[in-house]
Structure 1
Amino acid sequence: MVFTGIYEQNNEKVFVIRDTIEVRVPIKFYSQLKKKYTDEEIVSIHEPKVLRHHYTGREMIYITKESGIPLIGHTAFGLIDRGTNLIQVRPVSGCNLNCIFCSVDEGVTQTRKTDYIVDTDHLVEEFAKIAALKGNDVEAHIDGQGEPFLYPYMVELLEKLRKVPQVKTISAQSNGMMLDEEKIRSMDGLIDRINLSISSMDERRGYALAGTKKYSVEHVKNVARMLSESSIDVLLAPVWVPGYNDEDIPRIIEFGLEIGAGKKFPAFGIQNYVRYQFGKKVKGKAMRFPDFFDRLAEYEKAYGIKLKLSPSDFGIHKSPSLPKVFKKGEKLKLDLIAPGRVHGEMLAVERGRVIGVLTDKPVGTRVNAEITRITDNVYVAVTGSS
């Protein structure tokens, strides 16, 4: 157990484990056991453990095989199979930034209430079952609702994913702030590509877009350079927010060309800002997609590169997927077993899947519910009569 911080707060002893997880132990309990046990032993035997995300401060649920919470069915954690040879791997939720354009309202938020972290062995074991359906060119794409590199066991996860026979490519998303020379060196040879979110070349505009002065454009640029000098490919993935970073887009392209981004994969993945229902809303008009693609075409011509991408540019194609276990409109009786990701949501388990149930009822309640979403084996239900 690696403690990267120990402090006292609100009559609790707070242990920070590998920068991400907080275990909170009442001072009275801690004082009683300290005479006999080490800090590691106290944290290990403390029940019930009160886990919190070190960056968001939210309650954190540790999902293990023994927890009984499946890894298929929710978008906040686990695995997502969208019917291609790419499997999304989501080991942790929560973010160290507060981007003003965030599609899932991460950082300072009024909607998110719970974070999740998944045991590495459990995650890889379930991943391997899906990969076995796909053929021999599977891409494991590590992403999530937040910053994946907050996961404290990333190198272990990469090592174990690499041993899955069907895996050809391992990639990940990152805002770059958790990466440094040591971490990049530890992943060299394990991961094939990192999609690096960098939306400005200007320091002040960078932390304005990131929603925090803890963000550093220069740090992320240095990370991009270090990645380009390693065996790990780097794809620069800015979010184009009209009226905010228009002048940055050509500068990001020029920077990527300068450092040699895209050794094997495309060098750029420019994204158009979209107002999502539960995402953060930026003032001003969003760019229409026809206009966005016209602008990309102009930059393609100016720089002699490809910017309008499709899944085939990454070797992504249709592939067998897990069968759906529910039908839309199906009515069930469900037991609520854990808090959901957002306010007004709880988790239930049925037929080997986790279901996000839209309800205000507490854990332990049995509810009548109707399945309203089954797309990509992600399940949502609403409560009502059956």
Structure 2
Amino acid sequence: MNPGLASLQAYPFERLRRLLQDVRPPALPLVDFSIGEPRQQAPELVARALTASLQQGLAEYPKVLGEPALRQAIAAWTSRRFTLPTGFLDPDRCILPVNGTREALFSIAQTVINPCQDVKSLVLMPNPFYQIYEGAALLAGAKPHYLNCDPGSGQPDFRAIPESVWERSALLYVNSPHNPTGAALGGEELAWLVGQARRFGVVLAVDECYTEIYFRGPPTGVLSVAAQTGSLDSVLSFHSLSKRSSIPGARSGFVAGDPAILAQFLRYRTYLGAAMPPFIQAASRAAWSDEEHVVESRRSYARKFAAARDILGEHLDIQLPDGGFYLWPEVGDGEAFARELYAAEHVRCLPGAYLAREAHGLHPGHDRVRIALVGSEAECIEGLQRIRRFLDNRPHASSQEKESAWHS
């Protein structure tokens, strides 16, 4: 067996299942805030494109590189969204369709890490983090190096990374906007990270799957920063339709960036057999070519956050994030909170400890929970009201009440 398998920790939702397995909740419909799976209505134009193309290409193997029409649609959207110079993003060399960012974020570590090299043996990642980053590092024969997120900024202090750590690093995962804090990195910080990655020979993998769910204007993308340097060297940007277009079941996204890295990534994925079915490619073209459904989705998420402020603001520190659809409040012991809430109201949320590791003497998730506002507006309001009732009735709730820090 691959020895890295023994190093993998249980996935957060398996840990949550074990935490709640002996709890008997009340006879209320379950409200599930635990998983970041958008359950909003899929865009009609995407459903139509999928249905119309179901018979397309069933008699032939799909290409790992994807159809030219899909890569061109992705290049057009990316160039518009991030204001890239004409021709900067070559759809034949700088874009690779992938089966969702999860698959690609895992596979890129297997591609760029040399397990036989001790010098470049670290993979840097934020803490809390998307657990795929950690698993990818371990199964590639590398060692995760956790960068604790600052409670104020919601992102790691990347400038505090010692040069000795940079020198030993092969890959840096960045998540902007960040899951679960919702904090996005600005252009100045991204530019500094691009410079450091090139200086130390580190692949900069920027997970931007939440970049289209924003509330104060679009977050800066790493491709915009790279364009200002005139080069895509060392830079990879990962995007997904799961969050942007609320179609997680399609497993569709792309990675764009350094053509030399993508050439090797294509080779790896060709052997892996990771090709997107033709009907998913057709649906994806429709999604990347339309913005109207994305605008309406943002409006819906904004209404959910407004409801969270109104319903929970007297008890919890509810902040509007730069992007994403998560609440990340302090609640004391996150596991105890999740268990008690489930027992009292049949509402599931995820303990923050399941999304982080203790590192450098701190555990940045222990006293928090993640609440994913991914259901319908009615379902989210129902769940938020149950959380409010739980907090109202919790014996020690008064000691946890905080002034709302709502930022409009």
When the two structures are superposed, what TM-score results if normalisation uses the length of structure 1? Answer: 0.28
More helix by share: 2
When the two structures are superposed, what TM-score results if normalisation uses the length of structure 2? Answer: 0.27
More strand by share: 1
